[in-house]
Structure 1
């Protein structure tokens, strides 16, 4: 089992900072997700843990032992890549078995280990096939089985679902969730997909430009985003954010007047689409409908507020035309307030 500590870890290439002062302890058996847009430093952080990138500053410890100078093969981690990285000339059985051969594991145990790993990812009927004869989802499951068969201390997964179509992504995500529960191995998972982060993680690390923005459970990050970047990155749709001015306990922007507990001055106000509701007439936001989207279980109504699109979920039976005026109820207890300049969260939500 493995607890991983990153102590003020940084990575620089000349003057370019890829990861800045990353400081975190990942608990034994925890499923940690590194989340952020392309270029935010999440894959670089994972590659430093794996030993595929050198650390510029700081230390990486596994179970209290510094591993900065250990070769990747000596770190007891198994990595699952976005690109599957399978051997095209070997069948599925041999692809899964390969790590056992490389590590000199007793050959008499190979068959049991390979079949146990393949059963976990439902590949028993495909062991004789070559990678070229498999679908993308099947290839990704071979890559997972090849990682499982090693019985490592740590799983590292780098965007493993990003090459799959939407339906396969959902089923493979469920499989990874179930596997992590069964195997109970420390897992670090990199993604730019906030739905993967919300559904898989025990804790999420949100990153931007090499800097950690917030660390917390999916619920904490969803309910109390630390700043406007996190608020706009988590949630589907993302949190509505509006720039405006507070005066005399009222936040004002184009088409908007909302009572708030905040000092006077410029501010960004946010709320989730599912927390607001349609109002009969005098709501806190009144504007013409910009677009309507039927989602099946609900109707998403969007209006323009200044330069921002603001969305609210309505009943699936709601019908109206684009351009018709609509009014939303936005009570102050559902509102999040952020500093206009820094984007940092102001205080806590009232209860």
Structure 2
């Protein structure tokens, strides 16, 4: 068992607050993703779990034991970094084996554990090679195998895919997902890539400027963002956000009118996702605007218009054809609309 409890963790450097009152329990065997833009505190949080940074305040508890004063080597965690951190003079086999030597694991166990770890990430045919002879994806798999061979209580992964090209990111992501299923080890994964978060996580923690904005399953966060920051950070494309006024259940904005919405009268921000909008005939839609850009995606056509003072995305079928400047109109079902407070950005739930 390796439950991790972070009790009111703070990290400050002078007056600068890196992590502000982070309070969360990570369940045994859970795959938790810390998601947010650069500088939001996600890597600092991970480094405090690892013992590479000291918490200014709060307790870090792993497997029922307070570890604040323990050295990293005594916390039974294995880290995979953005930089692969391989030893260039060692071949793949010895790179994977190195943690076993450091931890003084009996030598008669080394070969079996190294080969089991290498097999999990499909490196068997590369064990004799040096890091310089490997591709970026292969090097990252060596780093993964070196973490696996430790058989730790906790995996900590700090943006491990960010140095890989798009195709390798997809295949290595699938490998990490499968490893998580096989190994059943508590994992904390840091990324700024919301697709990685959505596809890998059991739960996602969205952070901004050191503060937790929302914690939930990928589906929860996608379908019910807590505020406009989360709404704009999750999804590809991000949720459309339009400023306007709610009056008598009707949202009104520039080139926009949507009736039947719950909520008190006043200024609000309306949110909806591109895939939830549907094109209407002629000018019969709730939103009408000229096409700003057209992107052919293969399985769909992404249209962008300028409405409500914002660029708004709408996903059309793949056969849709039009030109920039053509006028289109579209509808947004009331049931999938999101309303946010104009000033605070906080979600307004129907009562």
Tell me which of 301, 304, 309 is aligned to 1:302.
304
- Paired residue for 2:34? 34
CA RMSD of aligned residues (A): 0.8
- Structure 1, residues 94-116: CA drift from partner, whole Å, max 9, x if none? 00000000000000110110010
CA contact (8 A) 2:99 2:146 kept: yes
- Paired residue for 1:122? 122
Q: Following TM superposition, by how much is the alpha carbon of 1:215 offset from its aligned partner in structure 2, in angstroms?
A: 0.2
Tell me which of 299, 304, 316 is aligned to 1:314.
316
C-alpha separation between the residues in 1 aligned to 2:93 and 2:64?
A: 36
- Structure 1, residues 130-164: CA drift from partner, whole Å, max 9, x if none? 11111000000000000000000000000000000
2:145 counterpart SS class: helix
Per mean C-alpha deviation after superposition, the further-off stretch among 139-148 and 276-285 is: 276-285
1:142-291 correspondence runs (5 A):
142-259=142-259, 260-280=261-281, 281-291=283-293
How high is the TM-score relative to the length of structure 2?
A: 0.98
Unpaired runs of 5+ residues, structure 1, are: none
Q: Following TM superposition, by how much is the alpha carbon of 1:266 offset from its aligned partner in structure 2, in angstroms?
A: 0.7
1:40 counterpart SS class: coil
Stretches (4+) displaced over 2 A: none
Q: Following TM superposition, by how much is the alpha carbon of 1:252 offset from its aligned partner in structure 2, in angstroms?
A: 1.0
- Paired residue for 1:81? 81
2:98 counterpart SS class: helix
Q: Following TM superposition, by how much is the alpha carbon of 1:119 offset from its aligned partner in structure 2, in angstroms?
A: 0.4
C-alpha separation between the residues in 1 aligned to 2:36 and 2:274?
A: 22
- Structure 1, residues 169-194: CA drift from partner, whole Å, max 9, x if none? 00000000000000000000000000
How high is the TM-score relative to the length of structure 1?
A: 0.98
C-alpha separation between the residues in 1 aligned to 2:309 and 2:192?
A: 25
Count of aligned pairs between the two proteins: 349
C-alpha separation between the residues in 2 aligned to 1:274 and 1:73?
A: 47
- Structure 1, residues 185-241: CA drift from partner, whole Å, max 9, x if none? 000000000000000000000000000000000000000000000000000110000
- Structure 1, residues 285-328: CA drift from partner, whole Å, max 9, x if none? 00111111110000011100143110111110001111111001
C-alpha separation between the residues in 1 aligned to 2:308 and 2:246?
A: 16
Unpaired runs of 5+ residues, structure 2, are: none
C-alpha separation between the residues in 1 aligned to 2:220 and 2:308?
A: 29
